[in-house]
Structure 1
């Protein structure tokens, strides 16, 4: 398929007639049973969604082809299938190709040419020739009004700026009136494109990928603050860094967007962190993501003053979701000041380090200290995720001992560092965190719990749906006396290094899981070991569930 093209361009060429010539039947409405289906647009939307589901097709392109074929069948499926086909675009070319005379400079339209040593970039840029009539605008609006998400890909740089300048003179109303999400890159996005796409009355989310070319970021943010005051989500990501001359005005423009509730700044700003004060003081901001790599403690701590100075108010006090990543020392100092965020419910910590950075503590002790400060200062947390992205291997560190006491905790995830716990530790943990829904615990510690802890999780955490845990499989405990029918655990991921896969052990652990978690859907391994053994457990579990259902059906029970 040509770069920048998508099934939307094919649809636009062959489906205009469908809007006026969709198949109609001479049979009166109500004669056929399916006529009742066509009366309900929500049912048609569900059917169309499953037709275009990429997971149910060999590829995403095949799923879009199926949607296009469904749109050709009858008038009922035309609108919902077209809505899905045009909902998400990774290029603006399908929309622009709806206009007449949108062609190459050399007149070649059938193939999209990339610049090579023999073909210059100027020849490959697409321009707009001729005139645009009223019918042409109606044709474009028929499809453009369906676009909800747009990602300005690399091919946008091959569209001549003259196209957007020309269209700005011909059209005053928004090109994409229903556009809600916009993803752009500073390497290929131009002022002409921003002037053409904005304002978009429905736009609420903007993601900006900052590359090597970052000079246009302040101008773009100024345009967004003036034209799109209702934006609620703004993300600035990428490997590029803004110099201080650009970062300070950029933060000032962001602070003018009074409705922003979610802000992600995932690029490093080493020495100019103080420019963030106007942003952090925004009343509407409740979701904050910061990349603190390269920052100093002195730059960050004024925003997380604890205990508060007399009369001072921490600017981050309203934050409910916080995601921070940085080197170990600054992360440790930050967790010591979580008390200034009384309403914090979601916390994600990503720790970076390498052998060139002097690490103050062993990795295990370091994460243990982080947990202690979180327990002490952030008891309102419902979701906690800590990820070790350092270059120091987990085997070189001591283990983290699990000891949380968060009553309202619903999601707990540790990644890439060892957890050491015995059965008593897990039992105490389940008693103190009864609201758990997701629990992800890695292995690698000196001590691993036995399968008996699954019973503690079944009895003490009735809401648990997703579980990942490493167990010592040297023995299998006795079966529970009865089923725990109320438990709704769906997915179980187990890691083990000592599972002796005899037929008795396989049947015993399968029956044990069946009693504790009757509604379990999948059982899988967490590492490269014991893949075949846990595959057998999953099959046996399915067999136990099938026998139980058949038995209950014969008895007339549910």
Structure 2
């Protein structure tokens, strides 16, 4: 068949596809390519959902980078997203190769300006670098050769450098696993995460931080975990624009008070997270008792994890600031693992120091955070910390409190305490209240439910222990009949029944089940089903609350039908 102009055009297009150095006709609409690949933005998969790229897809993207310039930025961001090595990047240099001796990469030959330009092309727009592990070594000659390039800035647009686990071993010869990171100038770096710091990598970490600090002036978030030596801690305040600081100390760490004092020189610091592992100690030898010398003018969120005895030392050093609105205290997991789970309230004396420290911490928080909005205390499970009945009294003056939750402790609290908390609309802004388990004889009753519903108009989520023995069915029915106006906005109500086995015959009757269901349905019209059962409830209590929940739904349905019929009758008349 004779060759026509049409077949000639088709032949030319096929030839373009096969020719590796020319742009395929498929990529002629380059203006929409970057838009298409933007749907695969690596940031969208930040966290648990890291996108796993198929090998064939990876090769196709790599070929796209070679054939269409507009593919470089979005495709390279995917190609290097889960790098386990920097070798693919440096392999762009034709003279980069493995040395004939040992497992070391080096440079063998001249590095031309065109090679540097190509290296820049493939790294100039990479913003997220997640180095999973380091297994390759680089000769000092190669590192020095790259550092000698005046115009080379590796990853000039890099925003996040994430190394969750530094290698457990570290070579100290002519080869180096981590030295290429010193080629990162860090001018655009905003997030720096280094984990797994140990005795062999702490010197490298200190050197890297010291090198980056003068250049990485835009760093806003710094996350460090592992063996944080005094030298590493001294580097942190050098990141002058730091907003978020998250430091996790390994067991048996000695945390100097000077570290916190140096952090006060960070004027933009808004979030401070300190995690103290088992047996980590806060050294306050140079701090006088009652000497509150630390002032963070912009601090908004303070999260302390560790032994309450140690975290309370940090709180004692803080000066009050009205910007502090969120405080979270937690007991770290590895501390709980060192506590016998079989120990109950009978052995509470062993934890008296913990209880006293936690009570002192709550009192201190009420002082240093007058504008407190969120306060969460989580002491975990597997141990019993019995607090005093006046533990929460300092929180009465926190009028802006929106969320308060406490778990992992036992708190003697009665109707009188609940009334005191709500007196004068102190907790009028409260939206979520989660009280811990209580003890027999010192627990709230159904009256506390009504007090909270009336005094906390914004309250939507409520969890509390409840002593049902104080209100038998006839008393509960009488209390319900006296309530006319139902204005409670509570949607989620979780109740932990505080009774002993000797009361079960009185509280688990069908009459009591009906009375409780009618009371809750009448007083809380916006309640959502399925939330009554508390996670601390016994199996018998769980079944009982399920029955109550079922009856509440049935009563609500009957009441709706009744109102509908009466409405129809009024319309007909």
TM-score (norm 2): 0.61
Match for 2:328 among 348, 351, 364?
Answer: 348
Q: Which residue of 2 aligns with 1:367?
A: 358
| Secondary structure of residue in 1 paired with 2:134 | helix
1:205-284 matches, cutoff 5 A: 205-209=191-195, 210-213=197-200, 214-238=202-226, 240-242=227-229, 247=230, 249-267=231-249, 269-270=253-254, 272-274=256-258, 277-284=261-268
Q: Which residue of 2 aligns with 1:287?
A: 271
Following superposition, the deviation at residue 323 of structure 1 comes to: 3.6
Q: Where do 5+ consecutive residues of structure 1 fail to align?
A: 1-15, 25-37, 73-77, 107-119, 307-313
The C-alpha deviation readout for 1:46-90, integer Å capped at 9, x for no partner, is x979xx8899xxx9478878xx89x99xxxxx9999799679647
The C-alpha deviation readout for 1:262-283, integer Å capped at 9, x for no partner, is 3333326527443654433333
Following superposition, the deviation at residue 407 of structure 1 comes to: 0.3
For the residues of structure 1 that align with 2:144 and 2:308, how far apart are their CA atoms?
49
For the residues of structure 2 that align with 1:332 and 1:376, how far apart are their CA atoms?
13
- Change in Cα spacing, 1:483 to 1:148, as seen in structure 2 (3 Å) is farther
For the residues of structure 1 that align with 2:87 and 2:486, how far apart are their CA atoms?
56
Following superposition, the deviation at residue 409 of structure 1 comes to: 1.6
| Secondary structure of residue in 1 paired with 2:263 | helix
Contact 1:434 1:461 in 2 (8 A): yes
The C-alpha deviation readout for 1:399-421, integer Å capped at 9, x for no partner, is 66532211012232323211222
- Change in Cα spacing, 1:379 to 1:86, as seen in structure 2 (3 Å) is farther
1:527 and 2:536 equivalent?
yes
The C-alpha deviation readout for 1:95-140, integer Å capped at 9, x for no partner, is 749959999969xxxxxxxxxxxxx9x66x8889999999999998
The C-alpha deviation readout for 1:355-406, integer Å capped at 9, x for no partner, is 89x9794654543344334445542322323343799x31666666532211
For the residues of structure 1 that align with 2:329 and 2:465, how far apart are their CA atoms?
22
Q: Which residue of 2 aligns with 1:114?
A: none
For the residues of structure 1 that align with 2:444 and 2:107, how far apart are their CA atoms?
68
Following superposition, the deviation at residue 228 of structure 1 comes to: 0.1
Contact 2:72 2:122 in 1 (8 A): no
Q: Which residue of 2 aligns with 1:461?
A: 456
Match for 1:318 among 297, 308, 314?
Answer: 297
1:18-417 matches, cutoff 5 A: 21=26, 60=49, 89=82, 91=84, 96=89, 99=92, 148-153=127-132, 155-158=133-136, 160=138, 172=151, 174-184=153-163, 185-187=165-167, 190-197=177-184, 199-209=185-195, 210-213=197-200, 214-238=202-226, 240-242=227-229, 247=230, 249-267=231-249, 269-270=253-254, 272-274=256-258, 277-290=261-274, 293-301=280-288, 305-306=291-292, 314-318=293-297, 320=299, 321-325=301-305, 327-332=307-312, 335-336=315-316, 338-341=318-321, 343-350=323-330, 361=352, 363-376=354-367, 378-388=369-379, 393-394=383-384, 401-403=391-393, 404-405=395-396, 406-417=398-409
Contact 2:405 2:434 in 1 (8 A): yes
For the residues of structure 1 that align with 2:404 and 2:128, how far apart are their CA atoms?
32
Contact 1:99 1:132 in 2 (8 A): no
Q: Over aligned residues, Cα RMSD in angstroms?
A: 5.9
The alignment covers a number of residue pairs equal to 482
For the residues of structure 1 that align with 2:558 and 2:78, how far apart are their CA atoms?
39
Contact 1:263 1:289 in 2 (8 A): yes
- Change in Cα spacing, 1:504 to 1:270, as seen in structure 2 (3 Å) is same
For the residues of structure 1 that align with 2:420 and 2:495, how far apart are their CA atoms?
20
- Change in Cα spacing, 1:253 to 1:370, as seen in structure 2 (3 Å) is closer
Contact 2:413 2:443 in 1 (8 A): yes
| Secondary structure of residue in 2 paired with 1:208 | strand
Following superposition, the deviation at residue 222 of structure 1 comes to: 0.7
Contact 1:399 1:417 in 2 (8 A): no
Following superposition, the deviation at residue 225 of structure 1 comes to: 0.9
For the residues of structure 2 that align with 1:436 and 1:542, how far apart are their CA atoms?
30
| Secondary structure of residue in 2 paired with 1:157 | coil
Following superposition, the deviation at residue 217 of structure 1 comes to: 2.3
- Change in Cα spacing, 1:147 to 1:533, as seen in structure 2 (3 Å) is farther
For the residues of structure 2 that align with 1:467 and 1:235, how far apart are their CA atoms?
34
For the residues of structure 2 that align with 1:81 and 1:383, how far apart are their CA atoms?
40
Q: Which residue of 2 aligns with 1:420?
A: 412
For the residues of structure 1 that align with 2:517 and 2:450, how far apart are their CA atoms?
17
Following superposition, the deviation at residue 167 of structure 1 comes to: 6.8
| Secondary structure of residue in 2 paired with 1:428 | helix
- Change in Cα spacing, 1:208 to 1:547, as seen in structure 2 (3 Å) is farther
- Change in Cα spacing, 1:288 to 1:390, as seen in structure 2 (3 Å) is same
| Secondary structure of residue in 2 paired with 1:394 | coil
- Change in Cα spacing, 1:278 to 1:328, as seen in structure 2 (3 Å) is closer
Q: Which residue of 2 aligns with 1:448?
A: 443
- Change in Cα spacing, 1:470 to 1:371, as seen in structure 2 (3 Å) is same
Following superposition, the deviation at residue 434 of structure 1 comes to: 1.8
| Secondary structure of residue in 2 paired with 1:436 | coil
Q: Which residue of 2 aligns with 1:515?
A: 525
Following superposition, the deviation at residue 515 of structure 1 comes to: 0.7
Following superposition, the deviation at residue 348 of structure 1 comes to: 3.2
Q: Which residue of 1 aligns with 2:496?
A: 495
| Secondary structure of residue in 2 paired with 1:235 | strand
The C-alpha deviation readout for 1:457-486, integer Å capped at 9, x for no partner, is 44433444544433345577738656648x
